[in-house]
Amino acid sequence: MKRLASIAFATAIALFLQGCAGWQSALDPKGPAAGELAWLIWFFTGLCAVVWVLVMAALAVPLMMRSRQRAEPLALDAGADNRKLRVVMTAVGLTAVILIGLTLLSFFANRTLAAIGSDAALTIRVTGHQWWWEVRYEDATPSRILTTANEIHIPAGEPVRLLLTSTDVIHSFWVPSLSGKLDLIPGHMNVLDIKADKPGVYRGQCAEFCGAQHANMGTFIIAEPRAEFDAWWNDQLQPAAAPTSDEAKTGEDLFLKRPCVMCHKIGGTPAGGTVAPDLTHVASRQTLAAGTLTMSRGNLAAWIADPQGVKPGSHMPVVDLSGDELNAIVAYLEGLK
């Protein structure tokens, strides 16, 4: 019986600890900012646990001693009163020392976080919309400025500066494995410096309730070696690939004649909308609708055919398309890599 209890306890602990890892966990840091914050979390948690145990012991011991003694309601003991006073004063002093220590730890942690982006060579402007992320790569050469959506590519091992703002309501940018949270406020620019220690994909999420689809406002940080990042940027700067199949050509023609062209931009075509995600290389992304669906032909068709069914309340309208028209537009879009 004891063996079964031990196995059950070990299993429960193992399952509990699974929540400390993964691509969206503040306790599984993959960068210096997240590492600093994770250390603070563990230290605060451990210290608070010790304090709790000491307080419970300080309460339990007198109660147990009192229960073993005969009560004398009006008895006075000056010596005991003095001892109790010293205990209380010592506890107050320790509390003050602990609070001051924790405050200093937080202060120095903030200094460490602020120093991460001091030599950042890459600046990315991230704008929050209901419910997606506009991502603009800044560059001194105007022709190399790149705008994409929802997925943020960065060079691994290098600090990156994110400029955060919003066009509608307050959002909050949070990629737990790489950094802490920071709000995106309309009319205001906040600065967040991040760094990924090694290549990988790290999931982020809007952490401030921003409306009906707040839970489906995800993002992905894709860290890759500098050479791969540079190649990706150069590829993204190219105009959309011209369709090759007859179906895709029909899809392009339909896209440019339907309401899609009023909201979306596709480089190299007359489509120049700016109120929705840029679709120039939409098929190169891993997800659709800010992480709501994985990228596939079927999900792309579902999103176009019934955006309100996939993401109720989203600003993408339903466009009346026949089955053949839908397939043609999907064929065109899935060629935009």
Residue 126 · residue 195 · CB < 8 Å: no
SS3 270: coil
Look up the pTM and report it: 0.82
Q: What is the DSSP letter of 178?
A: T
Q: Measure the CA–CA gap between 284 and 183, rounded to whole angstroms.
A: 28
> How high is the mean pLDDT of the chain?
88
Neighbouring residues of 65: CB distance < 8 A, sequence distance ≥ 6: none
* Least confidently predicted of 103-107, 147-151, 265-269: 103-107
Write the CA distances from 48 to 3, 44, 55, 93, 180, integer angstroms.
Answer: 32, 6, 10, 16, 21
Q: Measure the CA–CA gap between 91 and 88, rounded to whole angstroms.
A: 5
Return the domain boundaries, the chain.
122-225, 246-335
pLDDT for the residue numbered 14: 53
pLDDT for the residue numbered 119: 77
Give the confidence band of 105 by pLDDT, cuts at 50, 70, 90.
Answer: confident
For the chain, the maximum distance between any two Cα atoms, rounded to a whole number of angstroms, is 100
Nearest residue to 151 via CA among 3, 290, 28: 290
CATH code of the domain occupying 246-335: 2.60.40.420
Superfamily for domain range 122-225? Cupredoxins -  blue copper proteins (2.60.40.420)
Residue 289 · residue 305 · CB < 8 Å: no
User: Dihedral through CA 98, CA 102, CA 105, CA 109, nearest 10?
Assistant: 170
pLDDT tens sequence across 203-252? 999 999 999 999 999 999 999 999 999 999 999 999 999 999 999 999 99
Neighbouring residues of 305: CB distance < 8 A, sequence distance ≥ 6: 318, 321, 326
Give the confidence band of 66 by pLDDT, cuts at 50, 70, 90.
Answer: low
As a whole number, mean pLDDT of residues 66-92 equals: 69
Neighbouring residues of 325: CB distance < 8 A, sequence distance ≥ 6: 254
In the predicted model, is pLDDT for residue 274 greater than 60? Answer: yes
pLDDT for the residue numbered 299: 95
Q: Measure the CA–CA gap between 272 and 278, rounded to whole angstroms.
A: 9
Helices 323-333 and 297-305, packing angle to 10 deg: 130
Tokens 């894709």 sit on residue: 222
Tokens 């979390």 sit on residue: 41
pLDDT tens sequence across 120-145? 789 999 999 999 999 999 999 999 99
Asked if the domains 122-225 and 246-335 are classified in one and the same CATH topology, the answer is yes
Question: Which amino acid, one-letter code, is at 215?
Answer: A
pLDDT tens sequence across 2-53? 666 566 555 655 555 555 666 678 788 888 998 888 888 899 999 999 989 9
